Homo-oligomer: A and B are copies of this chain.
């Protein structure tokens, strides 16, 4: 039985949380993960109106009575504006969602301390995804309830400090008193066990959850994750000030070529648009849009249900801790 600061905070079975994924983290998938004992994710950026976002929360609650996280990404975006952020925050407070995973700009800087006060008054637990000790300390200082420590191996947008999970998780765990959740390199029970040893109270993973029965993505994408290895992701976007990690593909080659010859934002945007990613998830064309997965894809070998995955990971975590324990007796 898992009993960590994260399982206790939310009253959940496993301290395994799904990370935000645009277009994928919707009610059905979110509820499947929460029902399996982890914590599903509802990615607010999927919804452009208050009514749609609120309906998604309600739909999720029809599918599960377990808690789930809402992701709000506070990064510059052509589609999602600061007004959207304010709406998401207000709705989360009104709906008293269990927790929010913020990423990008800290919410106090993006939306003001009053946003934090509003959410805390509503009992919403606040987490921020950080890639540096200094950002974790800031989050603790302004009232966050926990941080996700995101190593450079994660998919998506790791901080350009480029620090890996092996060092980042213990450094952050030593630097703050709020719970730390490891992100980056997590895909099985062995990595969960390692994260707990490094000082985390839980893990967040996204790529691994794509290869589950319940993830509503074209089957080509799931099959591709089984085929591809840990060295088949790459970094891009440094030239426009927002680095990302994605699966190596024709479109990512094109992106890197544009960056190499000094092409800018205007040229890159059409290749990186959210609509393009939405299309790729639906058509299964892995070469059409950047699929922002992490190095942990090397650890993905099958497509279980969320319940099978989480039960197995929990069992593996216990086994690997015992196995390592026997080496030091």
Provide the bound-state CA to CA distance between A164 and B166, in Å: 8
Q: Contact: A166 with B191, CB < 8 Å?
A: yes
- Contact stretch, chosen from A40-48, A88-96, A193-201, A268-276: A193-201
Give the residue of B163, B184, B296 whose beta carbon is less than 8 angstroms from that of A231: B163
Q: With A and B bound together, what is the CA distance between A168 and B166 in angstroms?
A: 12
* A299 and B167 in contact, given A196-B327, A321-B197 (Cβ under 8 angstroms): yes
Taking a contact as CB atoms under 8 Å apart, the answer to whether B196 and A190 are in contact is no
11 A–B contacts from the bound complex (CB under 8 Å): A1-B329, A4-B327, A152-B164, A163-B295, A164-B166, A167-B298, A193-B324, A197-B321, A201-B327, A321-B321, A321-B324
**What does the 1/0 interface line of A157-198 toward B look like (CB < 8 Å)?**
000011111111011000000000000111010110110111
| Total copies of this chain within the assembly | 2
Is A318 at the interface (CB under 8 A from chain B)?
yes
Residue among B152, B191, B324 making CB contact with A170, cutoff 8 Å: B191
Interface assignment of A10: CB less than 8 Å from any CB of chain B: no
Q: Given A190-B197, A190-B198, A190-B199, is A2 in contact with B167 using a C-beta cutoff of 8 Å?
A: no
* A311 interface residue (CB < 8 Å to B): no
Asked if A170 contacts B190 (CB within 8 A), the reply is yes
The answer to whether B324 and A168 have CB atoms under 8 Å apart is no
Residues of B within 8 A of A318 (CB): 328
Give the distance to chain B from A227, nearest Cβ to Cβ, in Å: 15
Q: Knowing A171-B299, A190-B197, A198-B190 are in contact, say whether A327-B166 is a contact too (CB < 8 A).
A: no
Interchain CA distance A246-B327 in the complex, whole Å? 33
Instruction: Name the one of B166, B170, B320, B325 contacting A153, with C-beta atoms under 8 angstroms.
Output: B166
Q: Is A317 positioned at the interface, with any CB of B under 8 Å from its CB?
A: yes
Q: Are B151 and A320 in contact (CB under 8 A)?
A: no
Query: Does A121 reach chain B (CB closer than 8 Å)?
Result: no
Does A225 belong to the interface (CB within 8 Å)?
no
Question: Which of B1, B166, B199, B329 makes the CB contact (< 8 A) with A328?
Answer: B1
Q: Is the CB of A164 within 8 A of B193?
A: no
